[in-house]
Amino acid sequence: MIPGPVEFEPAVMRAVGMATTSHVAPAFIEAFGHSLEMMREVWMSPSGQPFIIAGTGSLAMDMAGSNLTEAGDNVLVISTGYFGDRYAELLKRYGADVTLLKAATGDAVPVSEIENELRRKRYKLLTFTHVDTSTAVRVEPEPIGKLGEKYGVLTILDGVCSVAGEEIRQDDWKIDVALTASQKAVGVPPGLALMVVSGRAMEAWRNRKTPVGNYYCDWSNWLPVMRAYEERRAAYFGTPAVNLVAGLEVSLGVILSEGMETRFARHRKLAIEFRAAMKNLGLKMIPLSEELSAATLSAPWYPEGVEGSAFMKAISESDVILAGGLLPEIRDKYFRVGHMGSVTGGDILTTVASIANALKSCGYGSGI
Ligand code: PMP
Instruction: Break the chain into its structural domains and give their ranges.
Output: 10-258, 260-361
242-258 and 26-42 helices cross at what angle (nearest 10)? Answer: 40
3-state DSSP of the chain: CCCCCCCCCHHHHHHHCCCCCCCCCHHHHHHHHHHHHHHHHHCCCCCCEEEEEECCHHHHHHHHHHHHCCCCCEEEEEECCHHHHHHHHHHHCCCCEEEEEECCCCCCCCHHHHHHHHHHCCCCEEEEECEECCCCEECCHHHHHHHHHHHCCEEEEECCCCCCCCCCCCCCCCCCEEEEECCCCCCCCCCEEEEEECHHHHHHHHCCCCCCCCCCCCHHHHHHHHHHHHCCCCCCCCCCCHHHHHHHHHHHHHHHHHCHHHHHHHHHHHHHHHHHHHHHCCCCECCCCCCCECCCEECEECCCCCCHHHHHHHHHCCCCCCEECCCHHHHHHEEEEECCCCCCHHHHHHHHHHHHHHHHHCCCCCCC
Equal CATH topology for 10-258 and 260-361 = no
Q: How far is the CA of 50 from the centre of ligand 1 (A)?
A: 19
The minimum-distance atom of ligand 1 relative to the CA of 134 is 5
Record: fold of 260-361: Aspartate Aminotransferase, domain 1 (3.90.1150)
Query: Measured in angstroms, how far is the CA atom of residue 261 from the centroid of ligand 1?
Result: 24
Of ligand 1's listed atoms, the one at least distance from the Cα of 61 is 10
- Give the whole-angstrom CA distance, residue 260 versus residue 223: 27
134: left (phi over 0), alpha (psi -120 to 50) or beta: alpha
State which of 87, 133, 180, 337 you would mutate to test the pocket of ligand 1, scoring each by most atoms of that ligand within 8 A of its C-beta: 133
- Distance in Å, CA 2 to ligand 1 centroid: 13
Class of the CATH-defined domain 10-258: alpha beta
CA distances to 183, 295, 336 from 340, in Å: 10, 8, 12
Nearest CA to ligand 1 atom 6: 160
Residue of 196, 189, 207, 192 lying closest to 174 (CA atoms): 196
Q: Which residues of the chain have pLDDT under 70?
A: 366-368
Ligand 1 atom at minimal distance to the Cα of residue 162: 3
Query: Could you tell me the distance, in angstroms and rounded to a whole number, from the CA of residue 310 to the centre of ligand 1?
Result: 27
Q: Which residues line ligand 1 (CB under 6 A)?
A: 4, 56-58, 83, 129, 132-133, 158, 160-161, 181
**Ligand 1 atom 2: residue of nearest CA:** 160
User: What is the number of the ligand 1 atom nearest to the C-alpha of 58?
Assistant: 16
Closest-lying ligand 1 atom to the alpha carbon of residue 130: 3
State the pLDDT at residue 366.
Answer: 59
The whole-model pTM stands at 0.97
Q: What gap in Å lies between CA 59 and CA 55, rounded to an integer? A: 6
What is the rounded distance in angstroms from the CA atom of residue 168 to the CA atom of residue 140? Answer: 10
What is residue 365's predicted lDDT score, i.e. its pLDDT? 80
CA 214 from centre of chain: 22
8 A C-beta contact, residue 154 and residue 11: no
